[in-house]
Copies of this chain bind each other. A is one copy, B any other.
Amino acid sequence: MAGWRAADLIGRKRDGGALGEAELRWLVGAYLETLEGRSSAVSEAQMAAFLMAGVLRGFTEDEALALTWILVESGEVLDLSSLPGPTADKHSTGGVGDGTTLLVAPLLASAGVQLVKLSGRGLGHTGGTLDKLESIPGFRVDLEPGELLRVAAEVGCVVAAQTERLVPADKALYALRDVTGTVASTALIASSVMSKKLASGASVIVLDVKAGDGAFLPDATAAGELAELCVRIATGAGRACAALVTAMDQPLGTGIGNALEVAECVELLQEPPAGRLALIALELAAAALAMARGGSAAARESEREELVGRWERGEALEKLRAMVAAQGGDASVCDTPRKVLPRAPVVRAVPVGRAGVVTALPARAVGETAAVLGAGRARKDDPVDPAVGVQLHVEVGQAVEAGSPFVTVHARTDADAEAAAGRLLAVLDLGEDAVEPPPTLRRLVT
């Protein structure tokens, strides 16, 4: 294995230098071989030191590009060429009350774009997309490649669990980053995200990069930089890609918790689009549709209009119904979601304590409250409770009266509900004067 020494490459990164593609490829390859017991050239300690040096010194764009391809090439790449129409994929950096995938997937399918989305398990505040879908009785997320392609071809959209065979090097690196404080690097995040998107094979990629207190990146500038790097990586790989930078200062949807989020999405699709969650889903889907038709994500007015029409005519809801059915779920969730989905034993309405205007409803605190109720997981193998969570009745900028509805807590016990209610009331910030709510869509990166 060539004439490199891990200590030299670590030292170069520590001193602010950059590695070439061959050096990065050797480093990652030798690390994987070390994990498999086939080498000892790059130990976990050495890789951790290298990653920390990179987190603090930064990686160049060339390094991020190289790393992305090294991750992609470590495993299988999904071949979507057998699908009849254009293919799209969607990724969110994760927020609170973020059910956009459940809207974007059927919306794009209704317009003839096939969305094939492979997800990992959610970590943190609330469950991931897989956890949300699994709250639908019978829904299966573990699909073999053949079944995945069949659902995509027949329905037009499919959301399933990422297999072990996709980007195994990303998995190995992420497991190390997770325990060594080396997650927070724009280049490492971008290469991890984009390696999965490139390996998933879609020709159009839309990204939702969240900024705000409930997001992985609180800072909008940092979120913008991540969005830009991701788009450049995708474009360099010959994919059409655009990213929305969106606000995650308050929860995006009104439901926070797995079944509550599914119910909210179904109910949104049953009516004309309204609210911030519907808005962002439409913008993401319109951007993808515009690119799938060879246009720019920046000029997506007609696509947005078309998608609003499909939404209002119930076409998206029918696509969601077909996907749920094709993946083994109870399709009547699309008629009466709150009857079909699991319900928590304790449901407690919490009123607002005094009159005022909502000035803040911090997404992180709301998400953590839902997680404490059982909706999220701290460890990868923890179970989540599909039924519990928080249903919000207010948003930033809204005027409320004393005693008017604030939240409904869905909990396993009275004590849990009480604690959650207290925590939520404590973070609700009420002012005297009218507040202009900040824009949810902050920026488009193409």
Residues of B within 8 A of A44 (CB): 43-45, 48
Quick one: copies of this chain in the complex?
Answer: 2
Report how far A432 CA is from B13 CA in the complex, Å.
41
Task: Check B14–A46 contact: CB distance below 8 A.
Answer: no
Report how far A57 CA is from B46 CA in the complex, Å.
18
Task: Check A7–B45 contact: CB distance below 8 A.
Answer: no
Is A96 an interface residue when CB atoms closer than 8 A count as contact? no
Residues of B within 8 A of A176 (CB): 45
Task: Check B10–A180 contact: CB distance below 8 A.
Answer: yes
Task: Check B180–A45 contact: CB distance below 8 A.
Answer: yes
- 1/0 contact string of A112-144 vs chain B (CB within 8 Å): 000000000000000000000000000000000
Q: Which of B11, B48, B55 contacts A48 (CB 8 A)?
A: B48
Q: How far is the CB of A34 from chain B (nearest CB, A)?
A: 11
Residues of B within 8 A of A55 (CB): 14
Q: How large is the interface on A (under 10, 10 to 19, 20 to 34, 35 or more residues)?
A: 20 to 34
Is A64 an interface residue when CB atoms closer than 8 A count as contact? no
- 1/0 contact string of A3-17 vs chain B (CB within 8 Å): 000110011011000
Report how far A56 CA is from B51 CA in the complex, Å.
12
Task: Check A10–B181 contact: CB distance below 8 A.
Answer: yes
Known contacts A43-B44, A44-B43, A44-B44, A181 near B56 by CB under 8 Å: no
Is A18 an interface residue when CB atoms closer than 8 A count as contact? no
Is A286 an interface residue when CB atoms closer than 8 A count as contact? no
Q: How far is the CB of A209 from chain B (nearest CB, A)?
A: 22
Task: Check A49–B10 contact: CB distance below 8 A.
Answer: no
Task: Check A53–B56 contact: CB distance below 8 A.
Answer: yes
Q: Which of B11, B45, B50, B56 contacts A14 (CB 8 A)?
A: B56
Q: How far is the CB of A370 from chain B (nearest CB, A)?
A: 22
Q: How far is the CB of A92 from chain B (nearest CB, A)?
A: 24
Q: Which of B10, B13, B47, B179 contacts A6 (CB 8 A)?
A: B179
Of all chain B residues, which has the CB nearest A177? B49
Q: Which of B43, B52, B179, B184 contacts A52 (CB 8 A)?
A: B52
Chain A residues numbered 27-50 whose CB sits less than 8 Å from any CB in chain B: 43-50
Indicate the member of A6, A51, A56 with the most B CB atoms within 10 Å: A56
Task: Check A14–B179 contact: CB distance below 8 A.
Answer: no
Indicate the member of A43, A56, A180 with the most B CB atoms within 10 Å: A180
Of all chain B residues, which has the CB nearest A16? B56
Is A200 an interface residue when CB atoms closer than 8 A count as contact? no
Query: What 4 A-B pairs come out closest when comparing CB atoms?
Result: A10-B181, A49-B180, A45-B48, A52-B52
